[in-house]
Amino acid sequence: MTELPDTPPVPVRELAEIPAVEVITRSAVMLMSAAAEKLGLSAEDPHDSPHRDLDEARRLITALAGLVTASAEYLGPHAGPIRDGLKTLQLAFRESTAAPEEPGHGPGEKYTGPVW
């Protein structure tokens, strides 16, 4: 048990006990959330978000695409929603750039193929 000051004891889950699909899924969700922030999607107007950084968003989306592509066979029922989230981020990236790239050249599309 790990104790923090003035908090009740919190059990620590050993990493070895966590199934691989859970680690992969959590990683994908973290990448999706970070990419959405870097696209400014949590702001009322994404173009005015202080967190907007398309270069960083590109890196996160590409990392997510690589993870999803490499682990799709292990994700079971989680694969579809994660792929949908990835595609949504790829499309949001395309819509938020001043000069959108050709289909097949956007973030992560070397792993997923063109996104329309």
Q: What whole-number distance in Å separates Cα of residue 60 and Cα of residue 92?
A: 13
Q: Which sequence spans correspond to the domains of the chain?
A: 18-111
Cα separation of 23 and 75, whole Å?
A: 10
Q: Measured over all CA atoms, what is the biggest interatomic distance in the chain, rounded to whole angstroms?
A: 55
Residues 114/68, Cβ–Cβ less than 8 Å: no
Q: Is the pLDDT of residue 67 over 70?
A: yes
pLDDT of residue 73 exceeding 70:
yes
What pLDDT is attached to residue 100?
79
Among 54, 27, 60, which Cα is nearest to 40's? 54
Per-residue pLDDT at 9 exceeds 60: no
Percent of the chain scoring above 90 in pLDDT: 74
Could you tell me if 65 and 114 are in contact, meaning their C-beta atoms sit under 8 angstroms apart?
no
